[in-house]
C-alpha cells in the first residue's frame, strides 16, 4: 500500500540519509552475493557481475516506477494517494518494495515531488513536478544541474529553480482554459441536450464498460422493474463482472460533435490521464507540424548526426583537425529549403486549384516520402543508412525488447536511465555501430525507435552542436552559413564536440503554440526525461476530450475546423497525415508511421495484427499499454477514446465489440438527428 510519510525538505533528507552509507551498504551486499554466485555456479566474471547487479537494478527501477507514476498521477491528474493506490497505478511488486514520501520545492529541488525509497534507503528515486512540463524522474545520481552525460553524449542543463518563472517563460506560462460554455472542440461545454437524447444508446453502451456505472445502472433498472433488493444486488454484481476492469474514461465524437462520454467515479472530463504508447502518435503530430512550418523535419532525414553515441571515434576525413560532424555531413544537418512556389506572374495566371495542386506537390517533394536517407558522408555506413522514416515506421533494424516488466528495456529506459534516447542508442544491436538487421528490412515495434525519433526532431529543429567548452561546432539550424565556415573557425584547435545542445523551452513553446493551443488541448502535458527530452514513447497525459481532439485532427487530414464548422487552419500537412495513416509494406499491414491501421498495404484487413481481422478496414488508431485506445473511423466520421488500466489491454474481442456497437449506434443516432432536422425545417 502507498503510505506517504511526512513532507520534508530534500536538504533534511540528505542530512539524515548520507549517500556514502547507502552506497557502501549496497557495495557490501553486492560483493557478498558476487562471491556466493561465483563459487556455487562457476560462472564467468562478466555473467556473475550481471547477476550481482540485477537485484540492485530491479530495486532502483521499482522505486523509479513508483516515484514517476505517483508524481504524475498526484500532481498532473490531481488524484489523491489513496485513489492512486486503490486503482492500482503502481505495479504490486514495486508497491511492496518502495515507500512513498511527498516533498515540497526547496533549495535542492526544482519543484515539489515524490520520493520512493526501498531497502532502508538502499534504493531511492525522486520525481519532480514542473507545472505544464509534468513530472520528470531525476537521475539516480541526484545530479540536477550541470552536465548529466559524459563527453560524446547529449548535453542537458536544468534551469535553476524559479529561473524560468522569473523570465516569464516557464511551463505554466503556456497554461490556458477553454470556454466551458462553448461546444467541443473549441470549448468544453460537454454533450448538448439534443445529442444526449439522440445518442442515449451510445452513452448507455459506454457506461457498460465501467464496473461502478454498469452496476448502478443495472441496480436502478432492476428496482424500476419491480425486483427485490437481493435481485437488484445480483443484477448489479453481474453487470460489474461483465464490465472491462480498470476503465477510466471513454469519449465518442461523431461528425465533429462530442456526443457521449463517461468517466469512472472520482475522474472527470478535465482529468489528464496517461496514454502510454498513444504518445507515439503525439510525437508524430509534433514532427508533422515542424515539417509543415519550417521544413527542418524530413522523413529522409539521417538519424546518425543526431546520435553522438554513434559518431565514429576519429574523423572520417583527415581534412579537418577538429571533429565536426556538421562539416563532415555538409548540408544534411541544416533544415531543408522552403518549398518552391511558381513565379508571381505565373501564379496569378493559374487557377486557384492549379496553384493549390502545385503547392501540395512542392510540400510532398519537401517531405521526400521515401525511406532512403539524405546523401551524406556516412551514407555507406549501416547506421548512416537509417532515416527518420525508418524510426517512425518501426523498421530501424535496431534491437529492443519491448516486453513490459521491471527487467526489460522499456522499464529500464523509462525508470532507471537519465536519457531515454541515450539508452536506446547505447544498446548492443548487431554489434558496435551496426543495426541488428538493415534498416527497412524488418518491422519491430519498439519505444526506443520513438525516443530516437524525438531526438532527431529536436536536434534538427532546436539544437546546435557544442564542444567541451561550450563553443559552437556547427551553425544553429536555421542559419544559412555553410558548415565549412564553422569548421574553419575551429581549425587548428583541439576542441571536440561534446554533443547537442537543445533549446528545450523553444521546442516546448512550439508544441503549445502550433498544436496544443490551436486545438484547445488545455489539459495536455508532454513529460520529459532527466536529459530534457520529451519521452515521446510513453509520457503524454491529457483528458479524454483532448485525446479526442488529437485524433479528430488526423481524421480531418491535419486541418482544423472553425467554430461554425468550416475548414480552418492547417496544423499538419495532409501529405504527412496520409503517409502516417497508410500501412507500410514492411509492417506486414497494420502500422503506418507511429499510427496503427486496420488495413494491410493491399487494402485487406488483418495482416500480422490478429486483432485487426475483425475490424473494418478503413480505421486507424493510437494504442497504448493497459488498454489505451483512440480509434479513428474515416468512413463514419467517428472517434472513440478509451483510457484505463486493464491487464491484457483492450485490443481484444471485447474491444472489437465496443467499436462495432458504437459505430452502428452512432449511425442510427445520426439518422434520428437528421430526421428531426427535416421535420423542423
The domain boundary residue, chosen from 488, 522, 556: 522
Q: How many CA atoms lie within 13 A of 353 on its CB side?
A: 0
Q: What percent of the chain has pLDDT over 90?
A: 45
**Torsion region of 266: left, alpha or beta (phi above 0 gives left; psi -120 to 50 gives alpha):** left
Answer yes or no: do 365 and 420 share one domain: yes
Strands 525-526 and 540-542: antiparallel
What does the pLDDT look like over 418-456, one tens digit per residue?
Answer: 999 999 998 865 554 567 788 988 999 999 999 999 999
Cβ count within 10 A of residue 19: 12
Q: What per-residue confidence (pLDDT) applies to 493?
A: 37
Answer yes or no: do 269 and 302 share one domain: no
The domain boundary residue, chosen from 103, 127, 143: 143
Q: Which residues pair with 595 in a beta bridge?
A: none
In a domain, 216, yes or no: yes
| Listed range (26-40, 391-405, 559-573) with the worst mean pLDDT | 26-40
If one compares 160 and 294, the residue with the highest pLDDT of the two is 294
Answer yes or no: do 509 and 439 share one domain: yes
User: Using 50, 70 and 90 to split pLDDT, how confident is the model at 355?
Assistant: very low
Taking residues 371-397, what's their average pLDDT?
Answer: 75
Answer yes or no: do 270 and 288 share one domain: no
In a domain, 161, yes or no: no
Calpha distance 463→476 (Å, rounded): 7
Taking residues 461-469, what's their average pLDDT?
Answer: 70
Burial of 573 (C-beta count, 10 Å sphere; 0-12/13-18/19+): buried
Answer yes or no: do 581 and 672 share one domain: yes
In a domain, 165, yes or no: no
Answer yes or no: do 444 and 336 share one domain: yes
Answer yes or no: do 331 and 437 share one domain: yes
What does the pLDDT look like over 581-608, one tens digit per residue?
Answer: 999 888 888 899 999 998 755 544 444 4
Q: Say if residues 67 and 102 touch (Cβ distance below 8 Å).
A: no
Calpha distance 136→144 (Å, rounded): 11
The domain boundary residue, chosen from 456, 491, 522: 522
Answer yes or no: do 261 and 233 share one domain: no
In a domain, 609, yes or no: yes
DSSP symbol at 599 = B
Answer yes or no: do 435 and 306 share one domain: yes
* Alpha-carbon dihedral angle through residues 512, 514, 515, 518, given to the nearest 10 degrees: 100
In a domain, 87, yes or no: yes
Q: Inform me whether the pLDDT recorded for 385 exceeds 90.
A: no
Q: Inform me whether the pLDDT recorded for 509 exceeds 70.
A: yes
The parent domain of residue 563 ranges over 193-202+245-278+540-680
Whether the link from the prior residue into 185 is cis, omega within 30° of 0, is: yes
Domain total in the chain = 4
CATH classification of the domain holding 643: 3.40.710.10
Answer yes or no: do 456 and 370 share one domain: yes
DSSP symbol at 208 = T
Q: Inform me whether the pLDDT recorded for 370 exceeds 90.
A: no
* Alpha-carbon dihedral angle through residues 266, 270, 271, 273, given to the nearest 10 degrees: 140
Answer yes or no: do 448 and 559 share one domain: no
Q: What per-residue confidence (pLDDT) applies to 101?
A: 92
Answer yes or no: do 469 and 372 share one domain: yes
Q: Say if residues 507 and 282 touch (Cβ distance below 8 Å).
A: no
Q: Which residues contact 178 (CB under 8 A, 6 or more apart)?
A: 186, 187, 188, 520, 522
Q: What per-residue confidence (pLDDT) applies to 503?
A: 87
Taking residues 303-325, what's their average pLDDT?
Answer: 56
Q: Say if residues 621 and 577 touch (Cβ distance below 8 Å).
A: no
In a domain, 4, yes or no: no
In a domain, 527, yes or no: no
DSSP string, 454-480: HHHHHHHHHEEEEETTS-BSSPPBTB-
In a domain, 177, yes or no: no
Calpha distance 481→207 (Å, rounded): 59
Amino acid at each position: 500500500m502507498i503510505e506517504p510519510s511526512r513532507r520534508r525538505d530534500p536538504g533534511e533528507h540528505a542530512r539524515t540519509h548520507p549517500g556514502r552509507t547507502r552506497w557502501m551498504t549496497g557495495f557490501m551486499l553486492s560483493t557478498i552475493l558476487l562471491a556466493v554466485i561465483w563459487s556455487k555456479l562457476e560462472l564467468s566474471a562478466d555473467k556473475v557481475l550481471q547477476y550481482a547487479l540485477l537485484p540492485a537494478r530491479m530495486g532502483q527501477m521499482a522505486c523509479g516506477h513508483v516515484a514517476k507514476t505517483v508524481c504524475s498521477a498526484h500532481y498532473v491528474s490531481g488524484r489523491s494517494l489513496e485513489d492512486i493506490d486503490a486503482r492500482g497505478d503502481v505495479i504490486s511488486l514495486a508497491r511492496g518494495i518502495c515507500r512513498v514520501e511527498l516533498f515540497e520545492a526547496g533549495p535542492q529541488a526544482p519543484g515539489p515531488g515524490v520520493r520512493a525509497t526501498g531497502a532502508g534507503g538502499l534504493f531511492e528515486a525522486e520525481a519532480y513536478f514542473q507545472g505544464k512540463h509534468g513530472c520528470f524522474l531525476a537521475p539516480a545520481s541526484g545530479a540536477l544541474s550541470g552536465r548529466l552525460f559524459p563527453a560524446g553524449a547529449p548535453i542537458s542543463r536544468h534551469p535553476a529553480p524559479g529561473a524560468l518563472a522569473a523570465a516569464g517563460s516557464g511551463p505554466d506560462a503556456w497554461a490556458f482554459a477553454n470556454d466551458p460554455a462553448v461546444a467541443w472542440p473549441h470549448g468544453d461545454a460537454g454533450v448538448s441536450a439534443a445529442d444526449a437524447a439522440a445518442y442515449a444508446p451510445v452513452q448507455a453502451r459506454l457506461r457498460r464498460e465501467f464496473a461502478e456505472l454498469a452496476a448502478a445502472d443495472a441496480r436502478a433498472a432492476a428496482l424500476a422493474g419491480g425486483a427485490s433488493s437481493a435481485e437488484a444486488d445480483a443484477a448489479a454484481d453481474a453487470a460489474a463482472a461483465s464490465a472491462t476492469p480498470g476503465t477510466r474514461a471513454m469519449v465518442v465524437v461523431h461528425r465533429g460533435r462530442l456526443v457521449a462520454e463517461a468517466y469512472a467515479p472520482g475522474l472527470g472530463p478535465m482529468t489528464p490521464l496517461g496514454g502510454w504508447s498513444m504518445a507515439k502518435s503525439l510525437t508524430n503530430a509534433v514532427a508533422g507540424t515542424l515539417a509543415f512550418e519550417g521544413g527542418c523535419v524530413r522523413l529522409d532525414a539521417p538519424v546518425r548526426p543526431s546520435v553522438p553515441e554513434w559518431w565514429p571515434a576519429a574523423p572520417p576525413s583527415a581534412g579537418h583537425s577538429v571533429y565536426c560532424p556538421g562539416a563532415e555531413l555538409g548540408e544534411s544537418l541544416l533544415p531543408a529549403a522552403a518549398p518552391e512556389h511558381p513565379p508571381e506572374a505565373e501564379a496569378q495566371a493559374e487557377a486557384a486549384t492549379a496553384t493549390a495542386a502545385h503547392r501540395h506537390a512542392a510540400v510532398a517533394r519537401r517531405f521526400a516520402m521515401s525511406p532512403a536517407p539524405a546523401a551524406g558522408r556516412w551514407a555507406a555506413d549501416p547506421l548512416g543508412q537509417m532515416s527518420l522514416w525508418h524510426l517512425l515506421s518501426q523498421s530501424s533494424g535496431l534491437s529492443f525488447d519491448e516486453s513490459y516488466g521491471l527487467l526489460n528495456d522499456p522499464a529500464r529506459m523509462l525508470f532507471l536511465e537519465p536519457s531515454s534516447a541515450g539508452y536506446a542508442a547505447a544498446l548492443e544491436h548487431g554489434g558496435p555501430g551496426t543495426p541488428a538487421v538493415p534498416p527497412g528490412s524488418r518491422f519491430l515495434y519498439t519505444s526506443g525507435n520513438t525516443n530516437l525519433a524525438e531526438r532527431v526532431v529536436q536536434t534538427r529543429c532546436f539544437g546546435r552542436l557544442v564542444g567541451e567548452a561550450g563553443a559552437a561546432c556547427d551553425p544553429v539550424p536555421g542559419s544559412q552559413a555553410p558548415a565549412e565556415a564553422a569548421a574553419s573557425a575551429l581549425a587548428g584547435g583541439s576542441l571536440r564536440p561534446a554533443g547537442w545542445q537543445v533549446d528545450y523551452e523553444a521546442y516546448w513553446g512550439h508544441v503549445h503554440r502550433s498544436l496544443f493551443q490551436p486545438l484547445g488541448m488545455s489539459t495536455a502535458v508532454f513529460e520529459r526525461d532527466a536529459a530534457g527530452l520529451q519521452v515521446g514513447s510513453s509520457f503524454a497525459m491529457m483528458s479524454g476530450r483532448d485525446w479526442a481532439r488529437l485524433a479528430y485532427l488526423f481524421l480531418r487530414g491535419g486541418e482544423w475546423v472553425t467554430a461554425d464548422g468550416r475548414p480552418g487552419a492547417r496544423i499538419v500537412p495532409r501529405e504527412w497525415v496520409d503517409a502516417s495513416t497508410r500501412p507500410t509494406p514492411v509492417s506486414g499491414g497494420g502500422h503506418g508511421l507511429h499510427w496503427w491501421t486496420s488495413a494491410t498495404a493491399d487494402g485487406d484487413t488483418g495482416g500480422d495484427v490478429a486483432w485487426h481481422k475483425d475490424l473494418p478496414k478503413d480505421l486507424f488508431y493510437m494504442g497504448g499499454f493497459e488498454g489505451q485506445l483512440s480509434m479513428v473511423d474515416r468512413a463514419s466520421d467517428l472517434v472513440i477514446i478509451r483510457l484505463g488500466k486493464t491487464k491484457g489491454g483492450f485490443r481484444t474481442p471485447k474491444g472489437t465489440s465496443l467499436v462495432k456497437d458504437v459505430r452502428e449506434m452512432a449511425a442510427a443516432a445520426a439518422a434520428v438527428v437528421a430526421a428531426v432536422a427535416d421535420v423542423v425545417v
